[in-house]
A = this chain, B = another copy of it.
Amino acid sequence: MNFTSDSASIVAGILAGTRRAAARAISLIEDDDPAADTVVRELFPKTGGAYSVGFTGPPGAGKSTLVDDMVQIVRSQDQRVGVIAVDPNSPFSGGAILGDRIRMMRHTVDPDVFIRSMGSRGHLGGLALASSRAVYVLDAYGMDYVFLETVGVGQSELEVAELADTTVVVLMPGLGDSIQTIKAGIMEIADIFVVNKADHPAVHKTIADIKELLRIDGRKRAWTPAIVKCVATTEDGVDELWNAIGKHRAYLESSGELELRRARRLERQILDVATARLRARVVEASAHDASFKEALGNVVARRLDPFSAADLLVAQSREHRDVPA
């Protein structure tokens, strides 16, 4: 059966809770298939029910194990959870491909847990846009929670983390000069800090470092980021982390901040989609346009600069219907 040609049946399948339909939708998103647009458009009105939590931090901090623990807590409360593990450096996508994913196997037979890895394949509009679409799919599929896990702390990982209602930054003691690894961008997005592997002697130093960074950061904050110690492998402190997530959620909901955050996120998303569409149009124009090839030749020969060539291209992509540039 070819689902690709039948976005209506995928949408119906997802709303009826068919796992395979959800998986198929995410594959369409990963393939930049035009049908993905249709599917997500149709699903969008059914979204908004899931609460999303992002987990980010340097490689090796134990994010996967921690997410695994969180999945177990959610399941013990009889709620449903989707996990999207994002690796911007990997061309691979699909089921349990990330090495760490293997530890998640204990959940893969549970029909109320949906786990998916996403790599950097395709994604014309960027990995953040593709991930946000996958979140919509899992939201409409009826998940109570969607966890977004990233492998590192690069630019695209931060963008993915920004898709979450609550962002958890996972650190570990003794990470070289640990203060250096807590990059600037991360301080701005952290709602909760976890110091994982807290049985390490340097844990106090790491916590002191985080507090110091929060102090010198100096912004006025309505919410002071919580700092939680964990040992994910033994599940020490994981209940405290879950409570901290619940407290942050309660704060967001009672203060009206959740609505504001989500509105800002949607606005950014609209701009990202619009930019991606415009870029596609420009690429299209450049591929088929003889005058662009000529302009490129002039740039290569240093007779024209790339900025003026870009201006020509923008003018062309905008006005090629009737008025010549």
Contacts and interface: CB of A to CB of B under 8 A. Distances in A.
Interface of A: 37, 40-41, 44-45, 47-48, 60, 88-92, 99, 120, 127, 152-157, 176, 180, 183-185, 259, 262-263, 266-267, 269-271, 273-275, 277-279, 282-283, 286, 295-296, 299-300, 302-303, 305-311, 313-314, 317-318
7 contacts: A45-B305, A48-B302, A60-B176, A120-B184, A270-B296, A275-B278, A275-B282
Given A270-B296, A299-B270, A310-B270, A88 B40 contact: no
Contacts of A278: 275, 278-279, 282, 314, 317
Given A263-B300, A270-B296, A271-B282, 4 more contacts: A40-B307, A41-B305, A271-B286, A318-B318
Contacts of A91: 184-185
**A-side interface mostly:** helix
A305 B259 CA distance: 17
B314 A274 contact: yes
Number of copies of chain A assembled together: 2
B318 A270 contact: no
Contact of A296 (B48, B89, B263, B318): B263
B286 A282 contact: no
A133 to B, nearest CB: 9
Contact of A155 (B120, B259, B269): B120
Contacts of A259: 300
A279 B275 contact: yes
Nearest to A302: B45
B41 A307 contact: yes
A313 B270 contact: yes
Nearest to A176: B60
B263 A306 contact: no
A155 to B, nearest CB: 5
A232 to B, nearest CB: 18
A91 B185 CA distance: 8
A151 to B, nearest CB: 10
B266 A306 contact: yes
A183 B267 CA distance: 33
Contacts of A184: 89-92, 120
Contacts of A308: 41
Query: Which 3 A/B pairs are nearest by Cβ-Cβ distance?
Result: A154-B154, A273-B310, A89-B183
Contacts of A262: 300
Contacts of A271: 279, 282-283, 286, 310, 313
Looking at A176, A270, A314, the one whose CB has the most chain B CB atoms below 10 A away is A270
